[in-house]
Amino acid sequence: MLFRKYHIVVFKDKQGSCKKFQLHGWFIASLFIIMIGLTAGNAYLWNKYANHSRIEKGLNLAEQTVQEQKTQLLSLSQKISALQKNLERIRDFDSKLRVMINIDQDGGQATAPKGGPNADFSKGYLPLYRQELLARKMHEFLRQLNVEARLEEVRQQDIMHTLRNNQNILEATPSIWPTSGWVTSGFAWRTSPFTGKREFHKGIDISAPRGTPIYAPARGSITFTGRDGAYGMSIRLKHNASLSTRFAHLHRIAVKSGKVVTRGELIGYVGSTGRSTGPHLHYEVRLNGVPVNPKRYILN
C-alpha cells in the first residue's frame, strides 16, 4: 500500500480539461502522520500554556498575599516598638517617683529589648524567611512586654501604697519646671563662660526673656531673698528637712523671707543679675545640702 501509486485528477469547469497528479503511498502516509503530529503538538502546547497561565495566576496571588503579610508585619512591628517606648516612659516616671518618695529602685527589673522587634527589619524589603523570623521575634517581644507590664503594675501599686501613707511627700517635692524657656546649660561639667576653666555646673540654666514669671516647684518656706554674690538676686526655698531649691539671677523677687508658698505660686521674675551672660534662671535642687540634678524630680 505504501509503494502503490495514486492518481489525483483535477477537472476544470466549463473547459473540459483536467490535470492529473501522481502521488506515492508513502508520501500520503507521511503527510497524514505529519498532520497528526502537528495536531498532537498543538494540543500539548495548549495544555502547557493553560497550566502556565494557571500557575502564573496562582503565583501573582501568592505574591500579593505575601506583600500584604509583609505590610501587616511591619505595621505590627512599628506598633510594638511604640508600645515599648510608652512602657519605657512609664518606667522612667516610676523611677522618678521612687526617687521622690525614697523607695529603693528595683535593680532586677525585666526590660524589653532595646530598639523594638523591627530594629533589624525596618527596611521595605522582607524575604519570606525574614518574615517568619520577624513574626517569631514579635511573639517573643510581646511575651516580654506582657511580663514587664505586670511587673510595672506591681511596682505602681507599691508606689500608691507608699503615697497613701505619705501624703505630704509629693506636695514638698519640686516636680514641675519653675519657669518656661529652654535649657541652655545642664547639671554637668562645662567650660566656664567667665574663666574659661572646666567647672561643675551645680544646677540647670533656663533661658527666658527678662520678666518671665518664676513659680515655686513645690510647697515650702522661703528662707532667703536678696542679693547673694555671683548669684545676684536670688531666692532659697526649703521644702523639707533634707530638700531645698535655689533660684538665681532674678530681675525681681515677688515673695518675702519666711513666707510659706505652694506649688505653682509666683515667687519672682527672670533676670540677669549677678554673674550672668544674659537673662536666664539658674535653678538648683539640693539634697542634704548637696546639689543634685533637678531633672530627676521634674515630672512634666
Residues paired with 204 in a beta bridge: 283
pLDDT tens column, 270-292:
999 999 999 999 999 999 999 99
Grid coordinates given for 217: 516647684
Contact 181, 280 (CB under 8 A): yes
Q: Most distant CA pair in the chain: distance in Å? A: 143
Tell me how far apart the alpha carbons of residues 225 and 20 are, in angstroms, rounded to a whole number. Answer: 135
Regions of the chain short of the pLDDT cut 70:
1-3, 11, 13-16, 99-132, 134, 163-165, 167
CA dihedral sign, ordered 93, 96, 102, 107: positive
| pTM, 2 dp | 0.56
pLDDT tens column, 55-79:
888 888 888 877 777 777 777 777 7
pLDDT of residue 121: 44
pLDDT of residue 110: 45
Q: Is 193 exposed, middle or buried (0-12, 13-18, 19+ CB in 10 A)?
A: exposed
pLDDT of residue 103: 64
